[in-house]
Chains A and B, each alone.
Chain A
């Protein structure tokens, strides 16, 4: 069964600290993996999209990594800001279906 699991479910950090969010997937065949940021009461916004051949992709203070062999991805946030408080959703697309498989997200709270 195609699944995307994220950990931790929630995370609290202090402003200025770094953090890493994890995503494990069992989707096959793999096409690409995306990280989205979803602010409370808003729709998801894309941070990165990575294909099989990409190991690392950055978007400002956000860096995503992908290990297609172990089927794991991580999202590293550097020097966190209060505006980073949001849910971060890992999404994987399978190469043979018409849908994206969404994880349940990690809820990040950044406190001053």
Chain B
């Protein structure tokens, strides 16, 4: 199993551009998450999904959109990129609710995004 894969690894965007961060998992997990990690800060939840066709906002959803058309894929869309979106983005997945102790979250390697 490849686990959770993310593309691209690095990206530089100009202000106002758009892009999609890709996330795929091959563990047949129901739950998927997008986090951002800013320097010196803890991870913040952007969006999450409890299954195909179902998504919900996390703590910091503004400026982002997601979709979940399949169990495996959970892309994150940035519209009109802003410097405040410069961050490292992590996708994660779990079989059951990430809050529950019996369900571990597995993280991808991250995408480092710079908006200038």
Bound CA–CA A44/B107 (angstroms): 6
* With A46-B105, A102-B42, A104-B41 as contacts: A31 and B99 at CB distance below 8 Å: yes
Chain A nearest CB from B114 CB (Å) reads: 15
Residue of B48, B56, B105 with most chain A CB atoms under a 10 A cut-off: B105
* With A31-B99, A31-B101 as contacts: A43 and B42 at CB distance below 8 Å: no
Which residues of B have CB within 8 Å of A77?
none
Within 58-99 of A, Cβ neighbours of B (below 8 Å) are at 89, 93-95, 97-99
Q: In this complex, what residue of B is CB-closest to A3?
A: B42
* A49 in contact (CB, < 8 A): yes
Instruction: Name B's interface SS.
Output: loop
Bound CA–CA A29/B110 (angstroms): 30
Q: Is the CB of A41 within 8 A of B109?
A: yes
* B96 in contact (CB, < 8 A): no
Chain B nearest CB from A26 CB (Å) reads: 14
* B34 in contact (CB, < 8 A): no
Bound CA–CA A93/B33 (angstroms): 15
Task: Select one of B44, B59, B101, B107 contacting A43, CB under 8 A.
Answer: B107
* A110 in contact (CB, < 8 A): no
Within 14-57 of A, Cβ neighbours of B (below 8 Å) are at 31-32, 41-46, 49-51
Q: Enumerate chain A interface residues (CB-CB to B < 8 A).
A: 4, 31-32, 41-46, 49-51, 89, 93-95, 97-105
Q: Enumerate chain B interface residues (CB-CB to A < 8 A).
A: 4, 40-45, 48, 56, 58-59, 90, 92, 98-101, 104-110
Give me the 7 closest cross-chain CB pairs, A-B, nearest first. Answer: A43-B107, A102-B42, A32-B101, A102-B43, A93-B99, A51-B101, A46-B104
